[in-house]
Amino acid sequence: MEPNLTQNSSVTVADVARKAGVSKATAARVLGGYGTVSERVREIVTEAARALDYRPNELARSMTTGRSGTIGVVVGDIENPFFSLAMRGIADVARQAGFTVILINSGEDVSAEKEAIRTLLAKRVDGLIVSPAKESDVEHLREVARSGRPLALLDRGIEAFEVDTVIADDRHAAEGVTRQLIALGHRRIAYLTACDTPDHIFRSPGDINTGSVRRRVEGYLDICHEAGFSKSEMTVQMGASTPELASEIARAMLEAKDRPTAIIASDSVIGLEVFKTARAIGLSIPDDLSLISFHDADWTAVTSPPVTVVRQPVYRLGEMAAKLLVERLSGFDAAARRVVLETEVIQRASIASPLGTSVSS
Sheet arrangement for strand 189-192: 234-237, 189-192, 262-265, 290-294, 308-311, 344-346
Q: Using a pLDDT cut of 70, give the percent of the chain over it.
A: 92
Q: Cα(first)–Cα(last) distance of the chain, in Å? A: 84
Other Cβ atoms less than 10 A from the Cβ of 334: the count is 7
| Whether pLDDT at 79 is above 50 | yes
| Whether pLDDT at 168 is above 70 | yes
Q: How many residues does the chain have?
A: 361
**Residue-level pLDDT at 136:** 84
| Integer Cα distance of 264 and 143 in angstroms | 36
pLDDT tens sequence across 108-118: 999 999 999 99
Instruction: Return the bridge partners of 104, or none.
Output: 74
| Integer Cα distance of 233 and 259 in angstroms | 10
pLDDT tens sequence across 238-272: 999 999 999 999 999 999 999 999 999 999 999 99
Mean pLDDT of all residues in 3-12? 55
The answer for residues whose C-beta is within 8 angstroms of residue 309's C-beta and 6 or more apart is 268, 271, 292, 293, 294, 295, 296, 297, 300, 345, 346, 348
Q: Using a pLDDT cut of 90, give the percent of the chain over it.
A: 72
Strand segments, DSSP code E, in 24-118 are 70-75, 100-105
Rounded to two decimals, the pTM is: 0.77
